[in-house]
């Protein structure tokens, strides 16, 4: 407890028994239109939704049977099911919840509105944000990410690297945590695209082709979904690069790679564009390094501009 307020699920559960005010607050969320709509359907479906929301996974057969018996037997109600499952978290599930709580705290701190008056668009933004948290997410990115997430594209000073799709009014619609970094995407008419990204303070910028020597990137992102479909960006011993997309191949000399890493656009005749690179190395807990490569490209004639983020397997 801190200042009389519960800080853990167990403390909250105890407070609900002895503190009518705490119970009223929890019930107001449980009985809200958003909550009742989200947790609709059969008891089995509700259990799956709770596990997905809290832990980002589906319950195994034993877990589903356990909570289904509790619901059907009246031991726990739908109103308190999320709290009961949260309170039972252990191991990696508990670790993930701790990260979600840290990001939620950063989001609340970044928002100028008290939690009870947050607008609907902010509720949608916060849900999209928390849904992307993974165990490997770098917590040093939480505060800057939360600050970016709550700002409106069209009415506040924050400007993403690329403009959001025409018609997008509020914040980012999806996110993707990568080693030492996070991607931020915007969506219009169900089409999502990468418009900005953040890197950890632990990331080291690479400004010369030699820093990418012998590295190969095979997972790419033009939005916030990881895709591995035969595309690759490979660098040889000297830092010369080969970009392969299907049967098309573009090659860049080490000098060109260095120019692009230093902010100078280089021509890519194969894909009819000009492109700049940003690359980073990120130290991992086991002592190895992960790499991130970002392309900022402009199509021939300046008609299209887009970001692509590459990581390794």
Cβ-contact 66, 72 below 8 angstroms: no
Give me the pLDDT at residue 5, please. 52
Residue 251 DSSP SS3: strand
Cβ-contact 277, 251 below 8 angstroms: no
Give me the pLDDT at residue 33, please. 67
pLDDT tens profile 5-31: 555 555 666 666 777 776 676 666 666
The reported pTM is 0.79
Residue 158 has pLDDT above 50, yes or no: no
Contacts 24+ apart (CB under 8 A), 51-60: 51/85, 53/82, 53/131, 54/82, 54/85, 54/86, 54/89, 54/93, 54/97, 54/100, 55/89, 55/93, 55/96, 55/97, 56/96, 56/131, 56/133, 56/134
pLDDT tens profile 80-131: 888 889 888 999 999 999 999 899 888 888 876 555 444 555 566 677 788 8
Give me the pLDDT at residue 169, please. 47
CA dihedral 153, 144, 146, 151 (to 10 degrees): -20
Give me the pLDDT at residue 156, please. 42
DSSP assignment of 159-172 equals --SSPPPTT--SS-
The sign of the CA dihedral 208, 212, 214, 217 is: negative
Which stretch of 34-38, 153-157, 159-163, 248-252 has the lowest confidence by average pLDDT? Answer: 153-157
């Amino acid at each position: 407890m801190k200042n009389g307020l519960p800080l853990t699920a167990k403390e909250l559960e105890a407070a609900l028994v002895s503190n009518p005010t705490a119970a009223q607050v929890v019930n107001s969320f449980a009985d809200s239109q958003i909550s009742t709509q989200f947790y609709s359907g059969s008891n089995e479906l509700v259990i799956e939704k709770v596990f997905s929301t809290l832990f980002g996974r589906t319950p195994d057969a034993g877990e589903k049977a356990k909570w289904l018996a509790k619901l059907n037997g009246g031991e726990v109600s739908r109103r308190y099911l999320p709290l009961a499952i949260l309170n039972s978290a252990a191991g990696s599930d508990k670790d993930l919840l701790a990260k979600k709580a840290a990001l939620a705290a950063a989001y609340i701190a970044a928002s100028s509105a008290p939690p009870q008056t947050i607008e609907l668009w902010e509720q949608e933004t916060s849900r999209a944000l928390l849904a992307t948290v993974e165990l490997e997410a770098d917590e040093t990115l939480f505060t800057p990410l939360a600050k970016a997430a709550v700002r409106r594209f069209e009415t506040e000073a924050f400007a993403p690297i690329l403009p959001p799709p025409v018609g997008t009014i509020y914040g980012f619609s999806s996110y993707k945590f990568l080693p030492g970094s996070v991607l931020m995407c915007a969506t219009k008419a169900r089409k999502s695209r990468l418009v900005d990204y953040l890197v950890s303070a632990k990331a080291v910028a690479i400004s010369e082709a030699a820093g990418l020597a012998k590295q190969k990137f095979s997972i790419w992102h033009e939005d916030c979904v990881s895709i591995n479909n035969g595309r690759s960006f490979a660098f040889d011993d000297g830092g010369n690069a080969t970009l392969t997309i299907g049967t098309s191949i573009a090659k860049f000399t080490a000098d060109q790679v260095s120019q692009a890493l230093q902010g100078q656009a280089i021509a890519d005749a194969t894909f009819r564009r000009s492109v700049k690179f940003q690359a980073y190395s990120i130290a991992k807990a086991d002592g190895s390094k992960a790499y991130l490569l970002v392309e900022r490209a402009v199509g021939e004639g300046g008609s299209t501009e887009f970001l692509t983020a590459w990581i390794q397997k």
